[in-house]
Amino acid sequence: MQLFYGHIAAEFFYLHESEINHCVRVLRKNAGDTIHFITGDGNLYSGIIEVASKREVKGLFTVTESSWGNVPYELTIAIAPTKNMDRFEWFLEKSIELGISRIIPLRCDRSERKVIKEDRLFKVALSAAKQSLKGRLPKIDSLTSFNDFIAMDLEGTRCIAHCEDSERTAFSKAASDDQLIVLIGPEGDFTPNEISGAQRAGFKPIHLGQSRLRTETAALTVVSMVYAAHL
């Protein structure tokens, strides 16, 4: 299925500007042709093109399938972006393929990356959603400080994965919950102050097994475990 991304206004759909060239010039779609598109709200739409130009593709639409490709849980991961953004983008892509609701990039005390390019992350997320046939685009927050994050009013089971030598429970015990918020630290892990602050905010310490995992591997392990627990 050739899938596009757009938005809806009144009775018309409009393809996103980044999709117009591929639709009109590469695939040579014209007025009267039917296309499929997503808006990020979870539905799959079909549309009949009425206008196809180098500046605009619009037309009438219908909902083809609601909750298209959705997963039966809400998973939020707050993660410190890696110094090498290729690794963070890899996590972003794979987590969307498996099903994630929200990604909150964190600025922690030991973070090596202090800046992210939100436009670039959106392109990676959109490509992954289209490739894996998902109607829903996860929310990707702006870079958020650790303290601001733990103060957020988020509903669900709260977990923090860290490497400190202290009592932690296996994440497998929580993976089947329907609403989860999981904290993944930077290269170098969370500081003791961050760990204690998260626990005071209701985050339960968890481990992901005996291996010490890279940041993006730990995050994807969480996503994979939640995905498998809801099959």
Decide if 143 contacts 107 (C-beta within 8 A): yes
Residue where the block lists tokens 């490739």: 131
Q: How far apart are the first and last CA of the chain?
A: 24
pLDDT of residue 87: 97
pLDDT of residue 166: 86
| Among candidate residues 173, 168, 157, the one with its CA nearest the CA of residue 190 | 168
Decide if 189 contacts 164 (C-beta within 8 A): yes
Token code pair at residue 93 = 């892509």
> Which domains does the chain possess?
3-65 (2.40.240.20), 74-229 (3.40.1280.10)
pLDDT of residue 165: 84
Give the chain's mean pLDDT.
Answer: 97
Model's pTM, two decimal places? 0.94
Decide if 54 contacts 20 (C-beta within 8 A): yes
- What is d(CA 29, CA 16) in angstroms, rounded to the nearest whole number? 15
User: For the chain, which residues score pLDDT lower than 50?
Assistant: none
Count CB neighbours of 109 within 10 A.
15
* Segment 102-134, tens digit of pLDDT: 999 999 999 999 999 999 999 999 999 999 999
- What is d(CA 226, CA 72) in angstroms, rounded to the nearest whole number? 10
Token code pair at residue 118 = 């939100």
- What is d(CA 181, CA 28) in angstroms, rounded to the nearest whole number? 44
